[in-house]
Amino acid sequence: MFLTGGAMAMVIRAELFQPGLQLVEPNFFNQMTTVHGLIMVFGAVMPAFTGLANWMVPLMIGAPDMALPRMNNLSFWILPFAFLILIASLFMPGGGPNFGWTFYAPLSTTYAPDSTALFVFSVHIMGISSIMGAINVIVTIFNMRAPGMTLMKMPLFVWTWLITAFLLIAVMPVLAGAVTMVLTDKYFGTSFFDAAGGGDPVMFQHIFWFFGHPEVYIMILPSFGIISAIVPAFSGKKLFGYHSMVYATCSIALLSFLVWAHHMFTTGMPVFAELFFMYCTMLIAVPTGVKVFNWVATMWRGALTFETPMLFAIALLYCSL
C-alpha cells in the first residue's frame, strides 16, 4: 500500500512540477489524488499505527500478547482485499473515483464514475478493519495489564492509543453511514445529498467532518504518545506533568467532536454556529499547548542527546508552536 501510494504521489508531483498539463489528463490526475489520499489515510497511516500498537502496547503494560489474536489477524488480512478493490476501481470504464478523498456530494454522487461502488465497499472494509483493531487494543489494555499496572501508571503511548481506539469505535460508523448514503444516492434513487430531490449537499459535509476531525486526532494522538516516550528517553528525565498529559489527551479527544464545522466556515452557517466552532477551535489548542509545554519542560536542564529520534521530536515541537 505504501509503495502504491508513493507511486501515485510521484505522478501527482511530476504533474505539478510545472504549470499546465505535463504528463496526465486532468481526470486521471483527480483519480490519483483521490485514491492516493484514501490509501494513505485508511490503508497506510491507520494500519501502521495499529501495527505499532500491536508491538508496543503488550511490552509497555507487561502483557504476553494482544488479547484477541483471531480478531487481530482478521483485521489485518481483510486490508489487502480492500486495497485491491480500491485499485481495481482505476481499471473500470470511466476510471476510478475522481472526487477527492473527502468525496463531497454531488461530486461523489451525481457526477461520480461508476466505480464509486468499489470505492464505497473498500472504505467499508477498511473501516471494519480499524474497528476490530481498536477493540483489540481496548480489551488488551483493560484486561491484560501486569499486576500493579494501574491506569495512571501506564506509559503515555498506551494512554494515547487507548483514547485513539475509543475515537475509532465512535467515528468509523459515521463514515460508514456517509458512504452508504453516497452509495444509495448514486445507485438507488435516494436524495440525501441531492438538492433537486429535497436533500442537502451541505449535510454531507457535516456528516463527513463529524467523522473527519476526530480522524485527525486518531492519526496524531499516537504520534503524541511516541513523542512522550522519545523526549524523556533522550533528555535523561521523567516526563514532566504526567497526569496533566493524560487529562490533556482526554480533553483533546472530547473536544475533537465539537470542532468539525471549522472546515465549513464558508458554507453559509449562522453566525452563532460560526462563533461556537471558532471558540471550540481556540479551546482545543489549550490541551495541545499543555502537551507542548510539558515536553519542553521535560527537556529543560536535561542531559539531552540529539540522536535521530530526538531530532524528529524537536522538529514536531517546533512545528507545534
Kindly report, residue by residue over 148-206, the tens digit of the pLDDT.
Answer: 999 999 999 999 999 999 999 999 999 999 999 999 999 999 999 999 999 999 999 99
Its pTM stands at 0.91
The percent of residues above 70 in pLDDT, for the chain, comes to 99
**pLDDT of 1 higher than 80:** no
Q: What pLDDT is stored for residue 47 in this prediction?
A: 87
26-30, 44-48, 81-85, 169-173: segment of lowest average pLDDT: 44-48
For the chain, what is the domain count?
Answer: 1
CATH assignment of the domain containing 303: 1.20.210.10
Q: Could you tell me if 245 and 214 are in contact, meaning their C-beta atoms sit under 8 angstroms apart?
A: no
Q: Which domain holds residue 248?
A: 2-320
pLDDT score for 320:
73
Angstrom distance (rounded) from CA 42 to CA 126: 6
Mean pLDDT of 231-254: 95
Closest CA to 299 of 225, 222, 228: 228
Phi, psi of 180 (to 5 degrees): -65, -40
Look at 16-25, 60-69, 162-171 and tell me which has the smallest mean pLDDT.
16-25
Cis? peptide before 106, omega within 30° of 0: yes
Judge whether 140 and 57 are in contact, CB under 8 Å.
yes
Residue 75 has pLDDT above 70, yes or no: yes
Instruction: Please state the rounded mean pLDDT for residues 54-65.
Output: 94
Question: What is the number of other CB atoms lying within 10 angstroms of the CB of residue 293?
Answer: 14
Over the chain, what is the mean pLDDT? 93
Q: What is the pLDDT of residue 3?
A: 67
- CA 208/CA 201 separation, integer angstroms: 11
* Nearest-angstrom CA–CA distance, 195 and 272: 24
Residue 1 DSSP SS3:
coil
Residue 24 DSSP class: S
pLDDT at 148: 92
240: left (phi over 0), alpha (psi -120 to 50) or beta: beta
Task: Characterize 40-78 residue by residue with b for buried, 16 or more Cβ atoms within 10 angstroms of its Cβ, and e for exposed.
Answer: bbbbbbbbebbeebbebbbebbebeebbbeebbebbbee
Between the alpha carbon of residue 185 and those of residues 90, 99, 116, 202, 243, the distances in Å are: 21, 15, 11, 15, 47
- Mean of pLDDT values over 230-243: 95
258: nearest Cα among 276, 231, 232, 285: 276
Coil, helix or strand at residue 304:
coil
What is the model's pLDDT at position 4?
A: 77
pLDDT in tens, 98-153: 999 999 999 999 999 999 999 999 999 999 999 999 999 999 999 999 999 999 99
* pLDDT > 90 fraction of the chain, expressed in percent and rounded: 83
pLDDT at 272 over 90: yes
157 in Cβ contact with 225 (< 8 Å): yes
pLDDT digits (tens, 9 = 90+) for 309-320: 999 999 988 887
